[in-house]
Amino acid sequence: MAGGNDVAPTVRLDGRVALVTGAGSGIGAAAAVALAQAGADVVLIARTRSKLEEIAAQIEKIGGRATVIACDVTDATAIREAIGVIESLDILVNNAGGNIPEPFIEVSDEHLESLLNLNVRAAFQVAQAAVRKMLERADRRERGGAVVNVGSQMGHIGAANRTVYCMSKHALEGLTKSMAIELAPHQIRVNTVAPTFIETPMTQRFMAESGFGAWALERIPLGRMGHPAEVAAAIVFLASPAAAMITGTSLLIDGGWTAQ
């Protein structure tokens, strides 16, 4: 995926294979469709097969190719086996994650373990398995590769009632930087996208809470929530030759929240 000396490097991903976790809805689904539109063959992973099949049908309708794998990313053995059977892999969109907003002093051991298991442990294990698959190709240095971890603006700031989520997303930023340094000799680039509140099923229930939606919008200078397609566009960019010199960084898609 080297950019060469092109004046306008391409964002096309023809001939590449991209894996997207949490691909059944929200940012993951939008990213999968956008990657297919850019020419990549896409492997969709999430727990619910029916949702994945809906996204695969959308991709096939636009002339793309998609493979569906129903798998829980928190099952380390299952996810390693699922990624292991993929013939070849060039791009990982490490998107699966969750949040349970609650006051710090009320966080239960169960919720703490659940979020860290999904947002940190599973993210690490998915990335590890995906990079192992990428490195199976003898021409990886020439072909290059890309990992895009889906973080959050909360990986750059703090927020009340989101201590565990913020902790987990800060951890993801550390993982991104360390992976980028270690994998650079293989020409595998690693970056994070860090969105603000995006219109997804996960955020809808938060924004519906009394007063919370107004509080959040007041802190976004652009005055609105983001759309999954806007995050997907950033993911495609970071996965593409147009971002050939970008690694170890975080692209904030936050409408200006963290600029304040």
For residue 106, what pLDDT is reported? 98
For residue 213, what pLDDT is reported? 85
For residue 6, what pLDDT is reported? 57
**Alpha carbon distance 12, 252 (integer Å):** 22
For residue 33, what pLDDT is reported? 98
Is 165 catalytic? The answer is yes
Q: Which two tokens stand for residue 65?
A: 């190719």
The answer to whether the pTM exceeds 0.85 is yes
Q: Which fold has domain 17-249?
A: Rossmann fold (3.40.50)
For residue 206, what pLDDT is reported? 72
For residue 202, what pLDDT is reported? 72
- The one-character DSSP state at 118 is I
Catalytic residue among 61, 133, 165, 177: 165
Q: Where are the domains of the chain?
A: 17-249
For residue 5, what pLDDT is reported? 60
For residue 97, what pLDDT is reported? 96
Percentage of residues in the chain with pLDDT exceeding 90? 90
3 state DSSP class of 58: helix
For residue 70, what pLDDT is reported? 98
H/E segment holding residue 74: none
**Alpha carbon distance 34, 148 (integer Å):** 14
Give me the phi and psi of 185, to 5 degrees please: -60, -20
What residues in the chain have per-residue pLDDT under 70?
Answer: 1-7, 210
Decide: 230 and 28 in contact? Cβ < 8 Å. Answer: no
Catalytic residue among 51, 61, 133, 169: 169
